[in-house]
Structure 1
Amino acid sequence: MSRLIVVSNRVSVPNSQGAAGAQGGLAVALNAALREHRGIWFGWSGQETEEFTGHLDMQRNDDVTTATIDLEPQDIDEYYNGYANRTLWPLFHYRIDLTEYDRSFGEGYQRVNNRFADSVLPLIEPDDLVWVHDYHLLPLGSLLRAKGVTNRIGLFLHTPWPPARLLVSLPNHEQLVTSMLQYDLIGFQTHEWLESFLHYIEKELGLTINPDGSIDYEGRNVQAQAFPIGIDFDEFVEGAQSAAAREAHDRLRASAGDRKMLIGVDRLDYSKGLGERFDSFGRFLTDNPEMAKDVVLLQIAPPSRELVASYQQIRHDLERKAGHINGAHADVAWVPIRYVNRGYPRDELAGFYRAADIGIVTPLRDGMNLVAKEYVAAQDPDNPGVLILSQFAGAALQMADALLVNPHSAEDVSEAIKRALAMPLAERKRRHKALLKSVREENVARWREDFVNALYSKEKVA
């Protein structure tokens, strides 16, 4: 069996007690694949160095080998904070108004991708499969090809892929996309993002899509497919039954009293639609005064990318909105929005999910959104909560039994909250049963196996 070389912006280094614990489901799945294929996980350590040397820090824990490099401050500023998170991230999430085009960002992005290529090259053996992850490293496959790598190389994009009419606003967009055609397999979260990519290939590059969905380019046949990601279902359910999860559940329920609880758990990011969510909840409180004091919204939003100005602004805006809504509606015994800027371990989150009557997941645009799936997995099947889900999340295609909403419409979301609060038990159980089946079957292990098998076999997965 071929080894697997995983390359990503950051590496989740397992601890000596194992790969699970505080790590997310994606890290657990990739570590499982690496153990199965005797592989290596390569990427940035998250640390700075005054001068880039290419030194590899090799570690082996829980039968997984990791290899990391440090980056210079300029690299981090231009590649990570710049091109990745101020250019590609907003553009890929349809926020062209927040997209920044700076030549130094593009130069830094190319330079760091070259550094990744040079550093991982000595680790790649002739029969290895190479699996590159996400928008940080789109040109890496072409750089490895230029250095003589003939191995099977795959790319999986965890974000949406924007429509061609938006992507063409990116300087040198043709160069970026043609560099991606040096991969053997390109994976997307949903068929919508796949179709956007293929439309660009036809419209802007003038290439023909083969009947099997592949692309022929410069002597290479490139497969492009959708591989919807899921959660590690068994691991998450086990965590949801832990003592820490039960304690978190009881603590939250006790604090809510007899009130119904809505929960949102999102990284602090403008793509998550948190401002619109607060506005929608405020609309619900205004439109339904007879129900208002019986409901609380808990929003957990750990900060991220705090050096990027747009992220500083979203935090300021949310604090202002929460204060305004609480000021307008609260009384001495009740505050409608609990806004928390910190993260929690996954087992505690599972307890919070189970305690909440409604899970509200309303991103403006999301590649998939695993919080929606975690909320469903955490529920008591005998008395499940209701999932309100944005129609613009990738997960909506698999989770049609959620209450699907337009997150841009405060009225639509407000009405969904009212409907969820009044939903009879029989309907809640019916919807949850269908959602749970999807979450259980479309899990992260299936995603990982489908992608690796497609990359290994060169055959299209049905």
Structure 2
Amino acid sequence: MKSGKHQLILATDTAPLTPASSAALGSAALMHAVASHGGAWVAAGAAKESAWLKSVPVDSTDMATHRDGYCAQTLAPAYFGHHAATLSQDEQWQKAHHIISGQYADTIASLAAPGAAVWIHDYPLQLVPGLLRHLRPDLRIGFSLHSPFPPAQTLQAIAEREQITTSILAADLATFTDARSAANFAACTENETGTPLVMPMPADAHAIAHAAATATARTAAGQIRARLHPATTVFLSTGGTDSGDGTIAVLNAFAQLLDGRALQAGTAVLIHLAPTGEPPAGENGALRHDIERLTAQINGKHATVGYVPVHYQRQDLSEAERAAFYLAADVMLATPVRDRMTPHAAEYAATRESGHGRVVLSEFSSSQAQLPGAIIVNPHEPGALEQAMLTAAAQAATASPVMKTMRAQVHTNNVTAWARRFLHTLTDGTMLNPPEHADHQTITPRRSASARQRKEGKQHHAQPTGTGQLATSAHP
């Protein structure tokens, strides 16, 4: 197959800077990595192509079936909910998923230079590494899963489970968001991978801190606090219609604190930010209804003239608007009830220049290593979330070395360093330099069979059965 000219290809399910993109919060840093190597970002639906942004030619019907059918109704329930009983499967969805995956592989194969590095992102594109390996065995293929990987009993319910695991194994480097997901994948592949690399994507700390330092964001934060007067403690949480985000648990905990007068009505406010998204249906629609109902109940019971305890805002916010809410909040609540990435907690920490504020973090967050000093809680433990909220509220007004250390950590281990480290590992050090952090363990990669054959000058034309990346790391 004829090769292209790009030494680096990055592939995502949607175009960069699109809120729905798996890599949306790190788009700026990833675009810089692509541009610095004369690379190309490949995505379906790219409105306007450029020297670095390339569109995958897809049929709109196939794309809608792939995204709204197979990804949303088959994969998402399995990956995010771990509920085999609730996922739906359809032959037409599977066919569209294969068509889209094949078109991605064809596009990448035509753009990549000989021996180029290819970085594929998240579960909608998880069949691409295997297809691409068959087309271009010379490429260095990396795959980052930004969602949890389900346990074996849930994956077993997916008809294409073998294609999924075989494709991920075809990558020279595969990374997961948390240790549980890595262990699930190892179990599903009978430990063919050894210990997969845990490497969650951090927040783009520099970008959000820059936005928070602007007069616009600081003025907006002041206006938010003024509108919330006389409240003296502002809690902030984020989440959409994913039950794993733990929004219901946060609302229930806040209600318990107001009901028991541990928090005095009029002095504490909870702001919950949710993306607009598509109108949810089924389980997600029921969850939104429950969130809105519970919000109304709390406000109906505790609101007074001039005081509303829960502010539920469903809108897509710009970076500057998010920064304003971070600056206005005293306590950030990032308390998912299942394994989840919590980039907004790291963004919040990045804005705390004064050292004021606190972060309450779930044991199920993949950000624990990045946020030392956060108040860690198991949201399933009765009363634990309420106590953590009270502790954070009592400490938030006092500047603390803990928050300054947390802020320094997220600025050091940011998405730019993460991208450098991934590409350095994928290319055996030939592309970019890794960040120099004393707390990172040395990565000693063991390449897949296809990668070893490339080094030995052999060709590999069969479907892959390699072992993928073997490494361990306790840090993002």
Q: What TM-score range do you get, normalising by the shorter chain?
A: 0.7 to 0.9
Q: Distance in 2 between matches of 1:240 and 1:410?
A: 36
Runs of 4+ in 1 over 6 A off after TM superposition: none
Looking at structure 2, the residues matched to 70 and 410 of structure 1 have their Cα atoms a distance apart, in angstroms, of 51
Decide which of 441, 451, 455 is 2:412's aligned counterpart. Answer: 441
- What secondary structure, in the 3-state scheme, does the structure 2 residue paired with 1:10 have? coil
Kindly provide the amino acid, as one letter, of the partner of residue 454 in structure 1: T
User: Which one is further off, 435-444 or 387-396?
Assistant: 435-444
TM-score, with structure 2 as normaliser: 0.82
Tell me what 1:89 maps to: 76
Gaps spanning 5+ residues in structure 1: where? 15-22, 48-56, 214-223
Distance in 1, Cα, partners of 2:428 & 2:32: 20
- Report the CA distance shift for 1:401/1:98 in structure 2 as closer, same or farther (over 3 A): farther
Q: 2:152 aligns with which of 164, 185, 190?
A: 164
The residue that corresponds to 2:302 in the other structure is 329
| CA-CA distance at 1:113 after TM superposition | 0.6
Distance 1:171 1:226, change over 3 A: same
Q: Distance in 1 between matches of 2:162 and 2:410?
A: 37
1:136-175 alignment, distance < 5 Å: 136-175=124-163
Q: Within 5 Å, which residues of 2 pair with 1:18-417?
A: 24-45=24-45, 58-60=49-51, 65-69=52-56, 71-96=58-83, 98-202=86-190, 208-209=192-193, 213=195, 224-259=196-231, 260-288=233-261, 291-306=264-279, 308-382=281-355, 384-409=356-381, 411-417=383-389
Mapped to 2, the partners of 1:89 and 1:452 lie a distance apart of 27
Q: Which protein has greater RCO, CA pairs closer than 8 Å, 6+ apart?
A: 2
Deviates more, 1:348-357 or 1:268-277: 268-277
What whole-Å deviation, never above 9, does each CA across 1:341-363 have from its counterpart, x for those lacking one?
11221122112111111111122
Once the two structures are superposed, what CA deviation does each residue of 1:218-273 show, in whole Å capped at 9, x if it has no partner?
A: xxxxxx42223222322221111012211111111111223111111334433312
Answer whether contact 1:187 1:227 (CA < 8 A) is retained. yes
Residue deviations 1:128-147, cap 9 Å, x none?
A: 11111100011101111222
1:9 maps onto 2:25 in alignment = no
Q: What number of residue pairs does the alignment pair up? A: 423
Moved more, 355-364 or 286-295: 286-295
Deviation at 1:393, TM superposition (A): 1.2
Equivalent residue of 1:364, what SS?
coil
Gaps of 5+ in 2: 430-443, 446-470
Task: Return the alpha-carbon distance in structure 1 between the equivalents of residues 88 and 44 of structure 2.
Answer: 23
Question: Cα 1:425–1:230, aligned 2, differ >3 Å: closer, same or farther?
Answer: same
Aligned alpha-carbon RMSD (Å): 2.5
Residues 272, 343 of structure 1: alpha-carbon distance in 2 compared, 3 angstrom cutoff: same
Q: Which amino acid aligns with 2:406?
A: L
In structure 1, the residue corresponding to 2:419 is in which secondary structure?
helix
2: CA distance between counterparts of 1:166 and 1:354? 40
> What SS class does the counterpart of residue 271 from structure 2 fall into?
strand
Q: Does 1:450 align with 2:421?
A: yes
SS in 1 for 2:13: strand
Report if the CA contact (8 A) 1:86-1:308 is conserved: no
